[in-house]
Structure formats: C-alpha cells, structure tokens
Amino acid sequence: MAEAPVGDDVYGEDPSINRLEALAAEMVGKEAAVYVPSGTMGNQAAVMTHTQRGDEVLLDENSHIFFYEVGGLAVLSGVQTRTLRSVRGAMNPGDVSAAIRPENIHFPRTTLLCLENTHNRAGGRALPVEYIDEMADLAHSAGLKVHLDGARIFNAAEALGVSAGRVAQKADSVMFCLSKGLSAPVGSIVAGTAEFIEGARRSRKILGGGMRQAGILAQAGIVALEEMVARLGEDHRLARQLAEILSGFPGIEVTPPDTNIVSVSTEGIRVPAPQLAAMLAEQGVLANAMDPARIRLVTHKDVMEDDVRKALGVIEQVLTEVAS
C-alpha cells in the first residue's frame, strides 16, 4: 500500500484504482467496474443508477439492502421498496411475478429486482446459479433490471464450484466487497456495462464517494483479488469443522454452513443471543447476535484451526454456565 502509484481518481488518473477496477470487472465477467468506499455505498449507487424517483424496487425482506442499509433506498434514491418473503434467502418466483406492476396511472413503475448471494441473513447461504438465473430471466422478461448484492460473491462461487462471473452472469450489475473475507481494510466494487458504470460513477459522486489518491486503498484491493480469493475454501472448511462440533453441544441448533458463516440458533438456551455474545466476548470469542435467538460465527484468514478449537472450548464452557 505504501508503494502504490497514485493519482487523482476523480479525474480517472489513479493507476492503482484503474488497475483494480479493470481486474475486478474481469473477475466478475463485466465490462467495467467502479471502486467505492463501502458495500452499502455500492448497493445504493447501483440502485440510484438503475432507478428513477418513485419507482418500485423488489427485494427480499431479509436482504441486506432492505434490512441493514438504514432505509437508504428511500432517502437517497426516492424509490419505494416492495419486500417479498424469502425462505433461506430465496424468494418465490410466483411472488416476484405477482409483484411486478402492470402499466396503470395509479401504480409506481417496477424497475428493479435485487438479489443477494451469498445471503447474509440466511447464514451465508450460496444460492444456486439456477435460482439467480431464473429470477433474472423472470425480471428481464418484464423489463426490470437486476442488481446482485454479491458482497461475498467469491464465497458463493467457491461453494458452488463456478466462477464469480457465472454467478453474476445474468445480473445487470453486481456489488462485491474487497473487505470481509477478502481481507482488504476497506472498499467494494460495483460492476456492470461500461454505460452503467459511467452512471454509477455519477451516483458515487453524489453520495460523496469520489476519492482522490485512493490508490493506497486500491492496492490492498488488488491483493484481495489476486491472493485472497483463492484461499476462501480454507475458511469454508474451517466453518464446516466448527459447525460439526458445535452441533453436538446442547441447547443450540446449527445450520450446516455453505460458506464461512456459521449460523447458530439459541432458541433452546435461557439467555438472549446478545447476552450470550457478550459472555463469549468476555472470553475472547467474538460472535454477532443476528436475532434475539441467533448468533453468527465467521471464519476468515486470521482464524486458524487452533483458534477454532479454542473458540469451541469457550463456547462449551459458556453454554454449560448458562444451562446450570
């Protein structure tokens, strides 16, 4: 990062950013890409670029864009969200079809469908390519665009045994994070057609995401793509190992993980998930309370087999404590 060549990226003159964007576009099979400070900004810029104020956007009720982005679609793009039920991260095609509005002076225009893969709230589930394809075909046949929130698209690709480009093939735009499992300190990517990305650069600028000599950050993004993508399988292997042993512990229920997220239902124990997470944190094990009775454990490049063993010891001890 210290040696990254830099320039003014708002003028398109930062060689490190340009290199990152070209590499990123290629890796998700799109014409062009734009670097953004966060995944949230990437999703928001993509929606802003695809839509007009007053449009209706279809997305699942558990999607990150709807659940965790502070109502940004309403605030920033002035669109109306129409949420659909999802089961393990998957919406029902019939529900999507039924939600697409016909032309009528009373109705907003349905212009965008958002998908997510891997699906965060579904415990890092890698949704099959056939699902993404089917949803995209359905949307396109009704004239909608498709945005894929692929914050962890490389985890999805690894789990599905296909390229990230294949996962995103039918999406008009895709966002992914260089942070998280890819280990860069900051940064995300939005990719799509060259024309779309030109628009997304304007949206990024509106959102305050035009950065100057940001090549120092892009350099870490290049390392993420060149070195970290290839090792994600290791995180998945450790997550499976963690889940397998955890599933033998009393009071909890573990969903077998597709990727690096282990989702643990804590319905069967007496303390609420946030309190359980606090008790684990006291012993040096960090977990996210996703719901009142669900915690999330994540493996990543700084977690080794030995750490998993230690974490299991702590979890077992804390579960015994709350059971007595």
Ligand X SMILES: *Cc1c(COP(=O)(O)O)cnc(C)c1O
Which residues contribute to the site for ligand X (CB under 6 A)? 38-40, 43, 64, 116, 120, 149, 151, 177, 179, 188
Give the 3-state secondary structure of residue 184.
Answer: coil
DSSP symbols for 234-296: HHHHHHHHHHHHHTTSTT-EEPPPSSSEEEEE-TTSSS-HHHHHHHHHHTT---EEEETTEEE
Alpha-carbon span 226 to 223, nearest angstrom: 5
CB of residue 75 vs ligand X: minimum separation in angstroms?
15
Alpha-carbon span 23 to 301, nearest angstrom: 22
The nearer residue to ligand X, 151 or 159, going by C-beta atoms, is 151
Give the count of beta carbons closer than 10 Å to the beta carbon of residue 195. Answer: 11
The nearer residue to ligand X, 72 or 199, going by C-beta atoms, is 72
CB of residue 113 vs ligand X: minimum separation in angstroms?
16
The nearer residue to ligand X, 81 or 120, going by C-beta atoms, is 120
The nearer residue to ligand X, 175 or 269, going by C-beta atoms, is 175
Q: Is 71 exposed, middle or buried (0-12, 13-18, 19+ CB in 10 A)?
A: exposed
CB of residue 221 vs ligand X: minimum separation in angstroms?
12
CB of residue 106 vs ligand X: minimum separation in angstroms?
33
CB of residue 137 vs ligand X: minimum separation in angstroms?
22
Whether a cis peptide bond, with omega within 30° of 0, leads into 118 is yes
The nearer residue to ligand X, 115 or 242, going by C-beta atoms, is 115
Length of the chain counted residue by residue: 324
CB of residue 177 vs ligand X: minimum separation in angstroms?
5
Half-sphere exposure in the Cβ direction for 110 (13 Å, CA): 23
Q: Tokens at residue 201, please?
A: 């650069």
Q: Do residues 89 and 148 lie in contact, with contact meaning Cβ atoms separated by under 8 Å?
A: no
CB-nearest residue to ligand X: 39
The nearer residue to ligand X, 85 or 270, going by C-beta atoms, is 85
- Greatest CA separation for the chain: 63
Q: Tokens at residue 1, please?
A: 């990062």
The nearer residue to ligand X, 42 or 279, going by C-beta atoms, is 42
CB of residue 309 vs ligand X: minimum separation in angstroms?
27
